[in-house]
Chain A
Amino acid sequence: MKTKAPKRPSPWLAGALSLLLPGLGQIYARQRYRGGAVLIAFLVVLGMVAWYGQPAWYFAPLGIWLWNVWDAVGQAGERRVSVLIPLLLGLTAAYSIGWQMVRVDFTSANWERGLAVLRPMFRPDLFERRTELNRMWTPISVPCSTTQEAPPARRQDGEKLAFATPDCAGVLETVIVSVSGMWPDTDTEIWWETNIGDDKPLGGNENAPLIVRTDETGSLTTTIRVPSTILIAQPDPTLQLTHRIYFDQRRPIGGLQFSTNGGFVVKGMTESVTMALMATFLAVLLAIPISFLAARNLMSANPFTFAIYVVVRTVLNFVRSIESLILAIVFVIIVGLGPFAGVLALAVHSVAALAKLYSEVIEGIDPGPIEAVRATGANWVQVVRYGVIPQIVPPFTAFTIYRWDINVRSSTVIGMVGGGGIGFYLIQWIALNDMRAVGAAFIAIAIVVMTLDYVSARIRERLV
């Protein structure tokens, strides 16, 4: 051994070489790979810092350089040197640059804005109390006409009586309105309905509900101003037409019901789940035949089928790498807005994903049982029924349920690009800043996704 051993490398020379060029000393000490790795690591870190960094970060390549000298000395002296230090330096540099690239800036957080958005979300607009409505209205003519006398602005409905004085009025004129025979001591909302059925609030600056309380006899009298905007769409503003003034009272009758937005949440969620179901169903129908073409063990018999296998696999991998959200944008253009575009997008992505999973199941089939069933004298169909199907159906089913589960998640966002489902409502509520409805949608999504997650996990557990 000793006679064969070449002259020991000098630690001094190794250190000097590495000082000149990182890694050179290690190479001199017959550690070629280590030397190469040190050089590459040094150059990568130096490059990163030079490209992005502030001058202060040069400590990282500098540190690696110094460590490299020490390492070269150690290698020449056949001493073990830990690579922990350059590793930490490299990671620190990468992390700092990453921090800068993604512009981490916690000071940009605006708590007021955050709270303004979050607070309503904690009062989700899903349910409302069930109420009973007590409604009364009176006609009123707008505007007054010189040629035609206005019909009386007065209406009787059983006990209830509503009237306005005068019988006609122009825009922004004041009118006295009265109603009696309503529920006593109850808040009453008074609002205007134009001749074409537009609702106008009468409170505030024509932008808030006007609410007046009835007295103990169930009557109220107040003044209103004819809203300024009621004639805007009128071809002839001097033509006298009949509008209505409504008096609405509500009182709870116990129990809850879906609010208007809550109804949309349920509708959207049902649509999302159905979309996912339809997409999965479509995908299964296509994925089963394709998966046989993508199964290596079936297709590698001759060069022609193997070529098909390669093409099918490549196409599947390509399609699978495109998110269904992006596919949805394309399908919205092709088939128009709505759940059908979403179904197609989910289906295409699912075909690719399922075909791959299925084909792996087929590749993993155990030939033993097939052989055993053949040996009993079974015919071809019986061999498939007793040797093949029992091996592939449970994993196929498990993967399919898993896919449906994923599709439900995806379908909740796919609506955001016009693909139907809850996302379609969600994106509009976000645009309208209706955060209570957004909160309701979040709750619905969470409940449905969590439930399906659990159910699908349990079913798959039993199948596999």
Chain B
Amino acid sequence: MLRIENLTKIYPNGTRALHDVSFEVQDGEFLVVIGLSGSGKSTLLRCINRLIEPTSGKIFWDDIDITAASPAELRHIRRHIGMVFQQFNLVKRSSVMTNVLSGRLGYANPWLSLLGIWPAADKEMALKALERVGIADKAQSRADALSGGQQQRVGIARALMQDPKIILADEPVASLDPVLSHSILQYLEQLNKDGLTVICSLHFLDLVHRYATRVIALKDGVKVFEGLPKEIDRAKFKEIYGEEAQEVRAASFEAEA
């Protein structure tokens, strides 16, 4: 169980990206974070594994206080939190295999990994992970030779290498077309069904309704909604996305209704 308590993040330039956000995530949930661009979704996800240092507030994972962890402890915690990014964040010039193996760095022998030497078991695991996302044949290609959807699947395979208990996915499908979006989210859904906790930020409400088990919404860094996807009605939507957004998104409610 992940517990976020009074989380606040103020960037050095004074931007208050998160303000007193608290919520809990039970093991095995598929929690979706929604909110307008700039509402603090990325900041929130990055605070959980402390890629961004929170200004104040606490994050507990079971009974471990992530916010109080020393650098070495933090690396241990990060090993179990896989992360998937909107821009995939692969090293473009490296091979798919190297990118996937880098997910294993937290476990690897530091010296051998610096030399680029990986145990056979890790390589096998990487191939399995690639097989799982259906692109084992691309293992030796350069990462930038792959399409966007394939690159995101490499990103998922990299996260799988961490033996993660939690997956943080920051708008994993925002750069993909609708068909690919579903296929990527289906991989995440499958992982979720296998017992992983997934925390995912999303932009499209139809995807939220389809995949989320629970939703929280941010607006200007403040949590404005927490509940089941079906509880987001027209009024809530207006509250989260503002008046102007209504016309654009109204269609998805009409379709629901």
Contact = CB atoms under 8 A, between A and B. Distances in A.
Contacts of A394: 93
Given A371-B51, A377-B75, A386 B90 contact: no
Nearest to A381: B114
Interface in A342-396: 366, 368-369, 371-379, 381-382, 385-387, 390-391, 394
Most buried by B among A366, A372, A381, A385: A372
A371 B78 CA distance: 12
Contact of A379 (B77, B98, B110): B110
Nearest to A394: B93
5 residue pairs, one from A and one from B, having the closest CB atoms? A377-B106, A368-B89, A378-B105, A377-B78, A377-B79
Interface string B135-171: 0000000000000000000010010011000001000
A382 B83 contact: no
A372 B83 contact: yes
B197 interface: no
B89 A369 contact: yes
B81 interface: yes
Given A371-B51, A381-B110, A382-B110, A376 B91 contact: no
A377 B165 CA distance: 14
Contacts of B252: none
A376 B93 contact: no
A372 B106 contact: no
A378 B106 contact: yes
Nearest to A388: B91
24 contacts: A366-B89, A368-B85, A368-B88, A369-B92, A371-B85, A373-B102, A376-B79, A376-B82, A376-B102, A376-B161, A376-B162, A377-B75, A377-B79, A377-B105, A377-B106, A378-B75, A379-B75, A379-B105, A381-B114, A382-B110, A382-B113, A386-B105, A387-B91, A394-B93
A385 B114 contact: yes
Nearest to A384: B114
B201 interface: no
Given A373-B102, A373-B105, A375-B78, A390 B83 contact: no
Contact of B89 (A372, A379, A385): A372
B171 to A, nearest CB: 13
Interface in A242-266: none
Interface in B78-121: 78-79, 81-83, 85, 87-94, 98, 102-108, 110, 113-114, 116
Contacts of B77: 377
B236 interface: no
A376 B106 contact: yes
A375 B51 contact: yes
Contacts of B93: 390-391, 394
Contacts of B114: 381-382, 385
Nearest to B104: A376
A377 B66 CA distance: 13
Contacts of A371: 51, 85, 89
Contacts of B82: 375-376
Contacts of A373: 102, 105
A464 to B, nearest CB: 9
Interface of A: 366, 368-369, 371-379, 381-382, 385-387, 390-391, 394
Given A366-B92, A381-B110, 17 more contacts: A369-B89, A372-B90, A372-B102, A373-B102, A375-B81, A375-B83, A376-B79, A376-B82, A376-B83, A376-B106, A376-B158, A376-B162, A378-B102, A378-B106, A385-B113, A385-B114, A391-B93
B197 to A, nearest CB: 16
Contacts of A390: 91, 93-94, 98
Contacts of B90: 369, 372
B102 to A, nearest CB: 5
B76 interface: yes
Contacts of A374: 51, 78
Contacts of B78: 374-377
A381 B51 CA distance: 16
A334 B106 CA distance: 54
A228 to B, nearest CB: 75
A372 B110 contact: no
B105 A369 contact: no
B51 A382 contact: no
Most buried by A among B83, B85, B89, B92: B89
Given A368-B89, A386-B102, A394-B93, A375 B110 contact: no
A198 to B, nearest CB: 65
Contacts of A375: 49, 51, 78, 81-83, 168
A371 B43 CA distance: 13
A373 B158 CA distance: 10
Contacts of B75: 377-379
B176 to A, nearest CB: 16
A376 to B, nearest CB: 5
Contacts of A377: 75-79, 105-107, 162
A342 B160 CA distance: 55
A376 B85 CA distance: 13
A394 to B, nearest CB: 6
Given A375-B49, A378-B75, A368 B102 contact: no
A394 B95 CA distance: 13
Contacts of A376: 78-79, 82-83, 102-106, 158, 161-162
A382 B78 CA distance: 14
Contacts of B102: 372-373, 376, 378, 386
A393 to B, nearest CB: 8
B91 A386 contact: yes
